[in-house]
Amino acid sequence: MSDTTESPSPQPGAGLDKRPEAILGRPEIPSDDVPVVIDVSHVQMIFNMASEELGSLKEYFIKIARHELFFKEFHALEDITFQVRRGEAFGLVGTNGSGKSTMLKIIAGVLEPSKGTVRVDGSIAPLIELGAGFDMELTAKENIYLNGALLGYSKDFIDEKFDDIVDFAELRDFMDMPLKNYSSGMVARIAFAIATITVPDVLIVDETLSVGDFLFQEKCMRRIRELVETNNCTVLLVSHDISLVEQICDRVCWIEHGHQRMLGATDEVCAAYKALGA
Ligand SMILES: Nc1ncnc2c1ncn2[C@@H]1O[C@H](COP(=O)(O)OP(=O)(O)OP(=O)(O)O)[C@@H](O)[C@H]1O
């Protein structure tokens, strides 16, 4: 764990927060000469959806063959533009279905935007969909090798890091158990431990942490903070836990119904976002 001498800036709602102050903190907003590592420019994402509900795959192919299947466009993202600089912890907030995960998937290269561009400088460790990259029939140990391979690590590298991964996840006694018998929190532990075993240039964290217990969440927060402070890693965080965003992120982009509603310093954006419920 890294020590910091930086005194945390006043946090909205800090009086309500029961988490230990010492393990959390946000980086300062970097100056303009710090390199941009994520450049999102005028991104639009359109999904084509069948305009009627079909009961089976057979019905789907029959309709296609008869040219009777029509699609309607759903605009999940419209004209999203932001830049994230090295060493930032950047948050994305918005109500359900506003387009946050879609934005993360585009940044991670899982989805191609319909319009606009995204440039990411460096390696990405994406923690986007819990269980993605895992085979639930395999044991946890086998999954560590499988997921590690998907992230581009060699077998020798995982051999070397295996104990660190297991120790971080605190699941040594469960390594020979198939993942289908794991709880979602246990899967999250393994996923987070693998994704952060090396120092990525960009760590993307969706709601993965929300299924972990509070002790594990705190441990992950310490790891994230260490990555940012010691290794100058950039973190992109999506969470419905606004107090978490307020504690970790220096800047936030608020996306609502696919539109960029606000972009700026965490306190300002989170205060406006929370006013939605007022
Ligand atoms: N593959 C897809 N095909 C069609 N529509 C999609 C697809 N993926 C996402 N959507 C739609 O795009 C919109 C944005 O979804 P997204 O998952 O990005 O929202 P979100 O902000 O992450 O939501 P939540 O906070 O509930 O996780 C939703 O209306 C969703 O139904």
Summarize pLDDT for 41-99 with one digit per residue, the tens.
Answer: 999 999 987 666 777 888 888 878 887 777 788 999 999 999 999 999 999 999 999 99
Q: Is residue 167's pLDDT more than 60?
A: yes
Are 182 and 222 found together in one domain?
Answer: no
Q: What's the pLDDT at 223? A: 87
Calculate mean pLDDT across residues 257-265.
Answer: 97
How far apart CA 191 and CA 133 sit, in angstroms, is 9
**8 part of a folded domain:** no
CA distances from 136 to 139, 177, 270 (A): 8, 10, 37
Centre of ligand 1 from the C-alpha of residue 101, in Å: 7
The model's pLDDT over 210-224, given as tens digits with 9 standing for 90+, comes to 777 888 888 888 888
204 and 194 in a single domain? The answer is no
Instruction: Check whether residue 32 and residue 110 sit in a common domain.
Output: yes
Same domain, 117 and 204: yes
Model-wide pTM > 0.90: no
pLDDT in tens, 91-137: 999 999 999 999 999 998 889 999 999 999 998 887 777 667 789 99
Coil, strand or helix at 19 = coil
pLDDT confidence of residue 140: 93
Number of domains forming the structure of the chain: 2
Q: Best substitution site from 71, 95, 96, 101 to test ligand 1's pocket, by max atoms within 8 Å of Cβ?
A: 101
Q: Which residues contact 6 (CB under 8 A, 6 or more apart)?
A: 25, 28
List the CATH number of the domain containing 194. 1.10.8
Is 19 a domain residue? no
Which domain covers residue 112, as residue numbers?
27-123+200-278
Choose among 53, 52, 51, 45: nearest CA to 72. Answer: 51
Residues 139 and 157 in one domain: yes
With CA atoms as reference, report the closest residue to 133 among 122, 145, 123, 121. Answer: 145
Helices (H) and strands (E) in the chain, counts: 8, 9
Listed in sequence order, the residues at least 6 apart from 31 whose beta carbon sits closer than 8 Å to its beta carbon are: none
The pLDDT, as a whole number, for residue 22 is 42
Instruction: Please classify residue 267 by burial: count the beta carbons closer than 10 Å to its beta carbon, then call 0-12 exposed, 13-18 middle and 19+ buried.
Output: middle
pLDDT at site 24: 55
Domain shared by 116 and 214, yes or no: yes
- Tell me, yes or no, whether 208 and 191 share the same domain: no
Contact 88, 235 (CB under 8 A): yes
Q: Is 71 in the pocket of ligand 1 (CB under 6 A)?
A: no
- CA 105 to ligand 1: nearest atom: 18
Q: Distance, CA 259 to ligand 1 centroid (Å)?
A: 13
SS3 264: strand
* Residue 156 CB burial class (10 angstroms; 0-12, 13-18, ≥19): exposed
Domain boundary among 198, 228, 246: 198
Taking the CA atoms of the chain, what radius of gyration do you get in angstroms? 20
Does ligand 1 lie within 6 Å of residue 1's CB atom?
no
The amino acid sitting at 147 is N
181/162 Cα distance (integer angstroms): 21
End of a domain among 198, 217, 240? 198
pLDDT of residue 65: 82
pLDDT at 51: 67
State what percent of residues in the chain have pLDDT above 70.
89
Residue whose structure tokens are 């800090």: 14
Nearest to 191 by CA among 146, 241, 226, 252: 146
Domain-ending residue, one of 198, 226, 254:
198
**What is the reported pLDDT for 182?**
92
Q: Which atom of ligand 1 is nearest to the CA of 258?
A: 14
Q: Clarify whether residues 70 and 85 are in a common domain.
A: yes
Residue 9 in any domain: the answer is no
For the segment 252-267, the average pLDDT, to the nearest whole number, is 97
